[in-house]
Amino acid sequence: MLSRMDGLQFFDRRQDFTVAWKRLPHWAQSGTVTFITWRTVDSLPAAALERIARERDEMLRRFGIEPDGERHERSFGETPLRRQVSPKLAAQLAKLSPGDKARLNWDLFCVWDCQLDQGAGECVLTRPELSEIVEKSLRHFDGDRYVLTDAVVMPNHVHVFVACVDEDTSRQIQQALGRQGEFWQTEQFDHLVRSLEHFEYFRRYLAENPQKAGLKEGGYRYYSKDL
């Protein structure tokens, strides 16, 4: 059984880690605190993705990088450092310092998350019986397979520290709605936390997200563990 603080280590480049690519890069390091966000399949309509893409291009220009103008990829705009970019853009991104890359990704995440907070899609997770499915799944193995410190279930997305969602939640929620098909978007945003300062910043970000989105009590589900 894991104690409350066991496993709360921060990313260390000197230790082994992996980077796996799908449409987004996913960094992993055993035992490292991870900030994870995933969203429902209907949470970012085409107009929202276009707005994200425009802001992405503006951000790249502020870093002295000329955007490649790609708009063909389904997930465009969700990350500035996606795998399938033009060789010219890839070469420009490679010249950024690790700090600038991290700032660029975080700034874009904030734009992406702001669009999620607009409440597009059905937002069925405002229903307590459905958000409870997500929370129960997250807390089921807390202290056994992982340490869960914080989680907030928003109307169309979820922020969480450390835990990975049980894929079965998609089936359970769709059953409760009387339908079939995908509920969660295939990929999530994840960020390895690099320091105690970053950890505390992310915890505040997660805790304040419902208020920033203008949600009232009962329109979201929040969990935080005393550490």
Q: What is the pLDDT of residues 52-85, one digit of tens each?
A: 888 888 988 998 888 876 543 334 334 444 445 6
**pLDDT attached to residue 84:** 53
203 in the same domain as 154: yes
Q: Which helix (H) or strand (E) holds 177?
A: helix 168-177
**Could you tell me the sign of the dihedral formed by the alpha carbons of 117, 123, 135, 33, in that order?**
negative
Per-residue pLDDT tens for 165-219? 444 677 787 788 788 887 877 666 777 777 888 888 889 999 999 999 999 999 9
CATH number at residue 132: 3.30.70.1290
Comparing 19-33, 42-56, 90-104, 210-224, the range with the smallest average pLDDT is 19-33
Q: Which of 118, 146, 170 is the last residue of a domain?
A: 118
**How much of the chain is in helix, strand and coil states, percent to nearest 5?**
40, 15, 45
Model pTM score: 0.75
Angle of helix 46-62 relative to helix 98-116, nearest 10 degrees, comes to 150
99 in the same domain as 208: no
Does pLDDT of 86 surpass 80?
no
28 in the same domain as 131: yes
Confidence of residue 120 (pLDDT cuts 50, 70, 90): very high
Pairing between strand 34-39 and 189-192?
A: antiparallel
71 in the same domain as 31: no
What range defines the domain where residue 127 resides? 1-43+121-227
139 in the same domain as 108: no
